[in-house]
């Protein structure tokens, strides 16, 4: 039995190998317990069939759904996904990218913390950005329409009669201004609502941070009647802090979150939240990366903007003075 016939069967090709011979080879493989050496194969094909998903906070359920979308798309093409959590830490982010390069990963899907466009380009690994972040013009990207979702959320609160609307932002380490902050400032200016710097607080991206932010806003001499939170984890933290302080939701305070994680639907009352296409974001980002891996000369980077939906539930209502 020739080496070339065995090699073709091992490679799942079997082209040019007679059916009877192919079955004998497969029986021998099974009896011997042979496992294909993918590392050795990658030296010949220059493909490891490995990609890295590098995210800033693996504890946020949003990333679990995004990761599922990535994994499902990659699995269909025979790729394995390594999950890496930077924990909003620049050193860890750079270390993971170096590891991907050292281990010859085929590509990276990344929601960047600190690495900029030029440094990511210099890494020499095909990459797709998760999120339509400013400053990455040379990379494909998939993200949600955060600007429109903030406008819809604040428009909903304004239609209910709210004029003093607080903003609880999560603490980022990126140099650019977050889209949600830009959208908030633009909306408040254009709508004639109260634009007061004291209504904007920045806290860690944790449930405790959300509670701290709500407490800070409630200590103002003229506290907001509604709060928009950067994500659902912050919103749930603010929700629990308000409940602990005896503040009725939504009777005395309205709250909106972002992401529409499962926990948002089971608070009492259920949390009004911006539903983002988390699974589809991961799946489409994976497809863009796969296309780049098949053809490095696809042309200009592609930017995919996915719409969001405001899920109005039980934490928003008219302000108490109405």
How many domains does the structure of the chain reveal? 3
Judged against a pLDDT cut of 50, whether residue 40 lies above it is answered with no
CA atoms in the 13 A half-sphere facing the CB of 59: 7
Question: Per-residue confidence at 111, pLDDT binned at 50, 70, 90?
Answer: very high
d(CA 264, CA 236): 8
Q: Does residue 131 contact residue 63 with C-beta atoms inside 8 Å?
A: no
Give me the pLDDT at residue 22, please.
66
Q: What is the pLDDT of residues 51-100, one digit of tens each?
A: 999 999 988 999 999 999 999 999 999 999 999 999 989 999 999 999 99
Q: Name, in order, each residue with C-beta under 8 angstroms of 294's C-beta and a sequence gap of 6 or more.
A: none
List of residues 6+ apart from 174 with CB closer than 8 A = 112, 113, 114, 133
Q: Is the pLDDT of residue 47 over 50?
A: yes
Average pLDDT of the segment spanning 308-318: 97
- 221, 239: one domain: yes
Domain that holds residue 21: 3-36
Residue 321: inside a domain? no
What pTM does this model have? Answer: 0.82
- The residue with greater pLDDT, 193 or 89, is 89
Do 66 and 281 form a contact (C-beta atoms < 8 A)?
yes
Q: Do 182 and 199 sit in the same domain of this protein?
A: yes
**Same-domain pairing of 267 and 283:** no
pLDDT at 193: 78
Pairwise CA distance, residues 80 & 64, whole Å: 16
Q: How many CB atoms lie within 10 A of CB 37?
A: 10
Q: Does 319 reside within a domain?
A: no
Q: Is residue 192 one of the residues assigned to a domain? A: yes
φ, ψ for residue 313 (rounded to 5)?
-120, -130
Tokens 């317990």 map to which residue? 33
| One domain, residues 135 and 81 | yes
Mean predicted lDDT score pLDDT of the chain: 89
What is the CATH number for 60?
3.40.50.2300
Give me the percent of the chain exceeding a pLDDT of 70: 85
Residues 91 and 170 in one domain: no
């Amino acid at each position: 039995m020739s080496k070339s016939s065995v090699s073709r069967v091992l490679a799942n090709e079997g082209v040019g190998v007679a059916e009877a011979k192919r079955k004998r080879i497969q029986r021998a493989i099974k009896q011997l317990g042979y496992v294909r050496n993918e590392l050795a194969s990658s030296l010949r094909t220059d493909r490891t069939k490995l990609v890295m998903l590098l995210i800033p906070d693996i504890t946020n359920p949003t990333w679990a759904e995004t990761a599922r979308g990535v994994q499902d798309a990659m699995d269909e093409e025979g790729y394995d996904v390594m999950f890496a959590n930077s924990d909003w830490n620049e050193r860890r982010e750079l270390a993971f990218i170096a590891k991907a390069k050292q281990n010859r990963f085929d590509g990276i899907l990344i929601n960047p913390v600190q690495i900029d466009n030029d440094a990511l380009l210099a890494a020499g690994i095909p990459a797709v950005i998760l999120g339509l972040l400013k400053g990455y013009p040379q990379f494909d990207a998939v993200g949600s329409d955060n600007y429109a979702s903030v406008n819809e959320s604040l428009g909903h609160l304004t239609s209910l009669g709210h004029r003093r609307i607080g903003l609880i932002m999560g603490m980022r380490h990126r140099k650019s201004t977050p889209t949600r902050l830009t959208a908030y400032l633009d909306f408040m200016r254009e709508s004639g609502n109260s634009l007061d710097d004291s209504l904007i607080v920045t806290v860690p991206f944790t449930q405790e941070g959300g509670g701290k932010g709500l407490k800070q806003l409630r200590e103002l001499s003229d506290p907001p009647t509604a709060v928009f939170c950067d994500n659902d984890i912050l919103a749930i933290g603010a929700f629990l802090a308000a409940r602990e302080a005896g503040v009725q939701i939504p009777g005395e305070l309205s709250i909106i979150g972002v992401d529409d994680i499962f926990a948002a639907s089971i608070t009492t009352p259920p949390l009004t939240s911006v539903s983002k296409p988390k699974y589809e974001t991961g799946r489409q980002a994976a497809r863009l990366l796969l296309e780049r891996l098949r053809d490095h000369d696809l042309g200009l980077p592609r930017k995919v903007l996915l719409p969001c939906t405001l899920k109005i539930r039980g934490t928003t209502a008219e302000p108490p003075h109405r």
